[in-house]
Amino acid sequence: MPTDISGTKVAFLLGHGVEQAELTQPWAEVKKAGGTPVLVSPESGTITAMKGDWDHADTFDVDVEVKDAKAEDYDALVIPGGTINADTLRIDTDAQAFVTAFFDAAKPVASICHGPWILIDAGLAKGRRMTSYESISTDLKNAGVDWTDEECVVDGNLITSRNPGDLEVFSATLIEKVAAATK
């Protein structure tokens, strides 16, 4: 599969409490493949990541506030998890609109762990085949998702994975989808 995404821009939508590995590993893979990752957030300044739900990790600079971000400026979207991050993002109307614009443009969207929560609130989950962190499986099923416990699920332009243990295949699938969509 093609793995060169030179010249692409990939938005990473997240806020405080993002699971650090779910940000940093796909971010590094995008850069390694030649793409430019961009941190988009409802916050300005910096965000603080987490290791699990309890331990604060590193801080990261926000590149663009989501209220100012436009999907047409990016080739793909990554929505990392982290309980606090995902629970906050899901009710942010600017974040919902940003995610919806990627679906409307049929651009790749990759979401892991608790990240798919926002798809419910944005009205984008129903009828899709997805995976996620097990604790939100009932939420997704109740929203009309065909939920499955698999390492990585691809449904059209949507890529979902369960947890940090799936990051290698999640990141590789993201790069393949971006390469295929932009060649």
Write the secondary structure of 81-146 as one string of H (helix), E (strand) and C (coil).
Answer: CCHHHHHHHCCCHHHHHHHHHHHHCCCCEEEECCCCHHHHHCCCCCCCEECCCHHHHHHHHHCCCE
Mean pLDDT (whole number) for 137-159: 98
Two structure tokens written together for 135: 């604790």
The secondary structure element, H or E, covering residue 13 is: strand 9-13
The model's pLDDT over 7-59, given as tens digits with 9 standing for 90+, comes to 999 999 999 999 999 999 999 999 999 999 999 999 999 999 999 778 899 99
What local confidence, expressed as pLDDT, does residue 62 receive? 98
Spatial distance between the Cα atoms of 85 and 82, rounded to a whole number of angstroms: 5
Q: Is residue 128 part of a domain?
A: yes
Q: Is residue 84 part of a domain?
A: yes
Q: Is residue 66 part of a domain?
A: yes
Provide the whole-model pTM: 0.97
The model's pLDDT over 164-176, given as tens digits with 9 standing for 90+, comes to 999 999 999 999 9
Catalytic residue among 16, 107, 114, 128: 114
The total number of structural domains that make up the chain: 1
In sequence order, the 6+-apart residues with CB closer than 8 A to the CB of 142 are none
Q: What is the DSSP letter of 38?
A: E
Q: Is residue 34 part of a domain?
A: yes
CATH number at residue 178: 3.40.50.880
What local confidence, expressed as pLDDT, does residue 3 receive? 85
Known active-site residue 56? no
